[in-house]
Chain A
Amino acid sequence: MKTDYDIIVVGAGPAGSMTACHAAKKGARVLMIEKRQEIGASLRCAEGISREGLAKSKIVVDRSWVSAEIAGAKLVSPCGNYLRLDERNAGNEVGLVLNRHLFDKALAADAARAGTEIQLKTSATGLIKEGRVVRGVVGTSYGEPFKATAKCVVGADGYESQVGRWGGLDTTLKTNDITTCFQYRMTNLKVEPNFCEFLLGSVAPGGYAWIFPKGGDTANVGLGVLGSKLKKKGEVKAYLDKFIKNDERLKHGQPLEALAAAVSVSPPVEKSVSDGLLLVGDAARVIDPITGGGIANGCIQGVIAGQVLGECSQAGDFSDAALQRYEKLWRDELENKLYRNWMVKEKLITLPDKTLDDVVKVLSESDLKSMSVYSLLAALKEKLPDLVKEFEQFI
């Protein structure tokens, strides 16, 4: 079995597969390892993505991995004020609800067609280093000891983000920057089949509740609560069960699948590369701190990572200095928006239900052109300037 590569990608989620695919397309010898026995399972995601995010990653929509095409979105305040935007004014911000089980496999298949080798049930439990330079991974593969060398290791290991920490990159999170989520795939619901719904306030302290349609009378119904607002064990599930029980459209629904997950709602990592090491996706903390959406950012970053790694492979140089091009390109694309949304989140989590009611009422009376965070903030800047003054430089 081959044990030496140009690049080893740890984690076969969307960011890992996009990185592997684009690096392999440039001729790099790529191995992608996935510790689970199936790519795309088990699910840890609400599965929403904007069409814009897919377009930026040059991913062509394939209906086989689309559960529902979304016609609009609804933002609901604690007292029931709501802002509703349909596809006429929400444009490309409105997107799709994916079937991640199939979407992740499709991206991994693209990586394979580009030349990537894939090994399932293969865990990295540590890095091989020469001094400070990363030279490969050690772990297990199908229960047997595993060791492979590479000129560069890519940490695409999601929220867990252990590869970076093994390599000396700080990916630790404060409890204020972690959202703990619980979700049911539910059926027998009376919800709009093509509208995503976001419910703010004490229904999900420091986060929000969501209803993302999955086709017909089925939807992902979940919520996330900020880590620093949790007080008891099992509290997130209790919040979700209460939310469902109190909603006439949901209370007669039945679960088909239950899942728990944690989501980083932090600023991005301060450093995403070092000698022979690169982080991508949630491992680099590029999840949007407002929406909790991370698929698009991970894919966008993966494209950049793959292209830079391909060039590094051709030059035979994976040093920190050579990988700085990746650092610059993804930050140019994503960083300002991530920081802005993190600052907005920091403000949002302090607002009582009454203020959230006012915010949504103001937004509902505004002539909004899209559901983007920027568009919402711009409207608030005009009507409630005090609310946004701490981050108005980003608006």
Chain B
Amino acid sequence: MSAADWMIVNVDKCFHCGACVGSCPQNAIYLAEVVLEFNEKCNK
């Protein structure tokens, strides 16, 4: 099980601004419109 499987986004608080995407040191997040997707590089 990778970290991507247990990453949980609080959709009530997310503004889909992409701040986490650009700040992720692993480049492991992708913002598709209003949905955050985490890939296998997610390890923290």
CB distance from A121 to the nearest CB of B (A): 8
Interface residues of B in 5-29 (CB under 8 A from A): 13, 15-19, 21-23, 25, 27
Across the interface, which residues of A come within 8 angstroms of B18, CB to CB? 44, 158-160, 261-262
Interface centre among A125, A160, A161, by most chain B C-beta atoms within 10 angstroms, is A160
- Given A161-B22, A162-B21, A259-B15, A35 and B27 contact (CB-CB distance below 8 Å): no
Asked if B32 lies at the interface with its beta carbon under 8 angstroms from chain A, I say yes
Q: Which of B23, B25, B32 contacts A35 (CB 8 A)?
A: B32
| Contact residues in B for A165 (Cβ distance below 8 Å) | 27
Q: How many A residues face the partner with a CB closer than 8 A?
A: 30
Interface residue A234 (Cβ < 8 Å from any Cβ of B): yes
Could you tell me how many residues of chain B have their Cβ less than 8 Å away from some Cβ of chain A? 15
Residue in A166, A180, A258 whose beta carbon sits within 8 Å of that of B19 in the complex: A180
Given contacts A44-B18, A159-B18, A262-B18, contact A234 B31 (CB under 8 A): no
Interface residues of B (CB under 8 A from A): 13, 15-19, 21-23, 25, 27, 30-33
CB distance from B23 to the nearest CB of A (A): 6
Query: Are A160 and B21 in contact (CB-based, < 8 A)?
Result: yes
Q: Are B23 and A262 in contact (CB under 8 A)?
A: yes
Q: Which of B19, B25, B30 lies in contact with A172, CB distance below 8 A?
A: B25
Closest Cβ of chain B: how far from A165's Cβ, in Å?
A: 5
The reply to whether A260 and B25 form a contact with Cβ atoms under 8 Å apart is no
A171–B25 CA distance with the chains assembled, in angstroms: 10
The answer to the question of A178 belonging to the interface, with a C-beta cut-off of 8 Å to chain B, is: yes
Q: Is A173 an interface residue (CB 8 A)?
A: yes
Q: A44-B17, A159-B18, A160-B18 are in contact. Are A36 and B33 (CB under 8 A)?
A: yes
Q: Are B17 and A178 in contact (CB under 8 A)?
A: no
Q: How far is the CA of A178 from the CA of B18 in the complex (A)?
A: 13
Question: Considering the complex of A and B, which 9 residue pairs feature the smallest CB-CB distances, nearest first?
Answer: A262-B19, A260-B15, A260-B17, A159-B22, A160-B21, A160-B22, A165-B27, A160-B18, A261-B17
Complex interface: chain B residues within 8 A of A125 (CB): 30
Q: Is A123 an interface residue (CB 8 A)?
A: yes
Report how far A261 CA is from B15 CA in the complex, Å: 8
Q: Is A37 an interface residue (CB 8 A)?
A: yes
> B residues within 8 A CB of A166?
27
Q: Chain B residues with Cβ under 8 A from A227's Cβ?
A: 23
A15 to chain B, nearest CB (A): 15
Does A42 belong to the interface (CB within 8 Å)?
yes
Chain A: CB-nearest residue to B30: A125
Across-interface contacts of B13 in A (CB, < 8 A): 234
